[in-house]
Each structure stands twice: as C-alpha cells, then as structure tokens.
Chains A and B, each alone.
Chain A
C-alpha cells in the first residue's frame, strides 16, 4: 500500500496542500507589497525644538506634555486620539510678555500637513500617520 500511494503521488505535480500553500504564499506576498506601499502608520505628533526632534508623541490617548528648553518651560501640549493642540505657550525671549499665542489659537491639528508653530520659542509640531491629510501641500501666509 505504501509503495502504491507513493507511486500515485509521484504522478501529481503538486498535492492539494502544496497548491493551497502556494496560493497562500502568493496572496501573502501581494498583501505584504500592498501594505508596504499604502498602509498608514500609527498617528503620532513630532515636536521640533530648535530644528531638532524634541519628542515624538503617540496620538492614542488623552494626555498632556510639557516642552522645556533646558529648565525653561515653553509650552504645554494636549493630545487626544488622533489630534494634538497647544494649550499654553510662553515667550522664551521675553518671558515678561504675553505672546500673541498664535500656537494656542491654532487649535487642534489632526491632519497630515497641519502644523502648530511658535516662532519665539522655535517650536514646530506636526502630525504623521493620521487618517486625513490637508487639501494643500503647503500654505502661503503673510510675510
């Protein structure tokens, strides 16, 4: 019997399970390529201070983060799933003055391409991997 089965298998090119495995591999490979090309990354916010990455914040929960230059407090950021905003910003150069709070007035940002910027503190916050992106690639504003 054993010999007979063996002879029968030799006549088939692939067994049923070989074909299933082959299809599985092909589909898996295709999905891997598709995922590599198009899958969104997890939403996060990148905080730049003086042009360097200060912190990368996952946008997956309600939380508060503070930004410091050395020991000097600069800004408070609040997150909620998929979004971030500045709730308070000082003026690093002129701590005695209230800033005009453009960063705070910006409100929540949740789309790729949106930014929160504090010029006096040299802070830029932008999002990556969010569900939506802005209609525009860049913004022109008054100089």
Chain B
C-alpha cells in the first residue's frame, strides 16, 4: 500500500508539474500578433502582445487609423487636409490637431536648424516627379524650373494662430520628414492605453517605435538596411527597449543622371539633393527627431550633424558617400552585435 501511494504521488507530481510548466511557458512567452501592410505609400509592420488577449483587435484598430492619416497627411491626394491647406491661396485654414501638431513640430525644427530642415519644399517634390510611383516621371528639372520653385520655399512663410494655419507666397508643405514618427507615437499610445504593460513595436515606413520591451524585459533588435543592398539586407543592428529609430537615405526615390545620383531630400537653398550620405539612422526618445534629424543631416553634412546631435541628445549611425560609417558616442549604448 505504501509503495502504491509513492507511485501514485510520483505520477501526480509529474502530470501536475507538466501542466504547470506548460502554462508557465505559455505565460512567459507572450504570443505576438504581427500584421504587415502597405499604408501611406509605404510598408507597415506592427507586432503586439498583451495580457488582455486582444492583440489582434488592437492591431486591426491601429491599421484602421491609416485611412484617417491618409486623409490628413497625403499632400498629393486632392481633398486631403494637407492638399486643401497647400491650395488655400494664402487664407487662414482651421486644421485638425494631428496636422497642427506635425506642422508645429516641423516649424520648430526648421527654426532650430535655421531652415536647413524645411517643410515648405513641397513644390520641389512634384517638380522632380518624386510624388508618384510612376518612375518614368522621375526626372532632372531644368535649373530655371528649380529657381522658379525655390521662390515658393521658405519656412518663414508659414503662420500659425492657435488651430489655424496660413501659407504665404504659395508655399506647399511636405511633412514626410516628421509624419511617420508622429504616427508611430499615436499608434503606440493606442497600444499602451489598451495595456500599459503590453509589448511590441510599430514600424511605419522604416521608422520603428517601441511599445514595450520584447517578452517584457528584452530589447528589440532593429536592422539598419544596407543602403546599397536589398531590402532584407541589414548592415548593422540597434537594440531598443523603448524609443524610436528612423532612417533617411538616398536609395529608394532617386535618379542617376550622367553618373550623379539625385534623390528626394532637397536642400531648400539649392533645390537639389546633397551627396554627403547614403543614409543616416537616428535613435531618439522623441519620435519626431528619429525622422527629422536624418533629413536634416542628409542636407547639412557631417559637421552640422555632429553639432545638432549634441544639441538634441540623439544617437546616429551614418554612412557617407564613400561607404564609411560615422557614429557618435551615444550610439554605443544602442549598438547590437550578433
């Protein structure tokens, strides 16, 4: 009888232990729901886990938000809020809180950079044809056309009064330099409102924001696309527990004329792109800087990039046109070597 009890006890312990182990393994390894898509003319990936068990529902809600953001921020769709503002003929226009936030953030950064980052380069984009996926329309404008467009560039032509905006001198806004980071931030807020301890990341057009650490305490590993490789080819890695990482580069919307590469980030003083960097990747705790700093650096070059990084407290990893890597001291804490 005693022997039988011992065996029954062992059997019970093994079975109960296995069940507990199974439950434990399931619990410490949250199930991430990942969804891919093409939104706002770029790729989007959201990966999310929550103890509330409604990850799919929340991610689907996040994806539904893109329709709203398309109606606000796409400057090339007739009827969008930004399109209407760009075609408002110098009148005061009441704008939504989303649009106002990004315009204000862009204007502040334009002032800080003395116009090197300038959201009013909107007219230059269609001049080069980079506002469309029709690659046949991408072309080198004449110097006269560029000079004519530059007459309608300058951040000082933007006036803001509470929730109204006025664009003077026929300037057009293009908010791509900060829009994706802002949308990242809004979607992350949705995820955290659902569950403050939830985990995952939001990737809108290559600007990746962290909802919460992987499995609750591990970093997410973000690859930096090799600017001269294919889209799955990473040249370096970042480890992030929180914050944002974004990249600006010369490798998606570009043309090569007589051996020279021209791409979609324009120097607002000349109307042409500069050839300082192949790409600049920025890590920041502020979403708008993870986007805006890269755009600024592509225009401003290495020396100005270093000074501005110190001022903003951002970390950067840049690859210059000779293929050399330039990174600041802040970068070390984010660097991941597999």
Interface pair A98/B208, CB less than 8 Å apart: no
Compute how far the CA of A53 lies from the CA of B252 in the bound complex, rounded to whole angstroms: 26
- Tell whether A140 pairs with B238 under 8 Å between CB atoms, given A93-B134, A115-B231: yes
Compute how far the CA of A13 lies from the CA of B136 in the bound complex, rounded to whole angstroms: 84
Shortest CB-to-CB span from A61 to chain B, Å, is 23
Interface size on A, residues (CB 8 A): 45
Contact of B291 among A33, A93, A117, A143 (CB under 8 A): A143
Interface pair B14/A143, CB less than 8 Å apart: no
Any chain A CB within 8 A of the CB of B22?
yes
Interface size on B, residues (CB 8 A): 61
Interface centre among B3, B231, B245, by most chain A C-beta atoms within 10 angstroms, is: B231
Shortest CB-to-CB span from B12 to chain A, Å, is 11
- Residues in B with CB closer than 8 Å to A51 are 37-38, 63
Interface pair B222/A106, CB less than 8 Å apart: no
- Tell whether A140 pairs with B232 under 8 Å between CB atoms, given A29-B15, A124-B37, A135-B237: no
Contact of B208 among A33, A107, A138 (CB under 8 A): A138
Binds A, one of B40-48, B73-81, B98-106, B185-193: B40-48
Interface pair B11/A22, CB less than 8 Å apart: yes
Interface pair A135/B223, CB less than 8 Å apart: yes
- Tell whether A107 pairs with B214 under 8 Å between CB atoms, given A140-B246, A142-B251: no
Interface pair A106/B232, CB less than 8 Å apart: yes
Compute how far the CA of A142 lies from the CA of B318 in the bound complex, rounded to whole angstroms: 12
Contact of A140 among B26, B47, B206, B252 (CB under 8 A): B206
Any chain A CB within 8 A of the CB of B312?
no
- Residues in A with CB closer than 8 Å to B291 are 143
Compute how far the CA of A115 lies from the CA of B234 in the bound complex, rounded to whole angstroms: 13
Interface pair B234/A136, CB less than 8 Å apart: yes
> How many interface contacts (CB-CB < 8 Å) are there between A and B?
153
Interface pair A142/B248, CB less than 8 Å apart: yes
Interface pair B135/A140, CB less than 8 Å apart: no
Compute how far the CA of A98 lies from the CA of B95 in the bound complex, rounded to whole angstroms: 38
Interface pair B135/A99, CB less than 8 Å apart: yes
Shortest CB-to-CB span from A14 to chain B, Å, is 7
Interface pair B38/A122, CB less than 8 Å apart: yes
Closest 8 pairs (CB-CB, A-B): A142-B249, A136-B223, A141-B206, A13-B4, A141-B225, A94-B134, A120-B133, A97-B136
What residues make up the interface of A, taking CB atoms closer than 8 Å to B? 13-14, 22, 26, 29-30, 33, 36-37, 48, 51, 91, 93-94, 96-100, 102, 105-107, 109, 111, 114-115, 117-120, 122-124, 126, 134-143
What residues make up the interface of B, taking CB atoms closer than 8 Å to A? 3-4, 7, 11, 14-15, 18, 21-22, 25-26, 36-38, 41-43, 45, 47, 63, 132-137, 176, 180, 201, 203, 205-208, 214, 220-225, 227, 230-232, 234, 237-238, 245-252, 279, 281, 291, 294, 338
> What are 21 A-B contacts with C-beta separation under 8 Å?
A26-B15, A30-B18, A33-B21, A91-B135, A94-B132, A94-B133, A118-B38, A120-B133, A136-B222, A137-B201, A139-B231, A140-B207, A140-B222, A141-B205, A141-B225, A142-B206, A142-B249, A142-B251, A143-B176, A143-B207, A143-B247
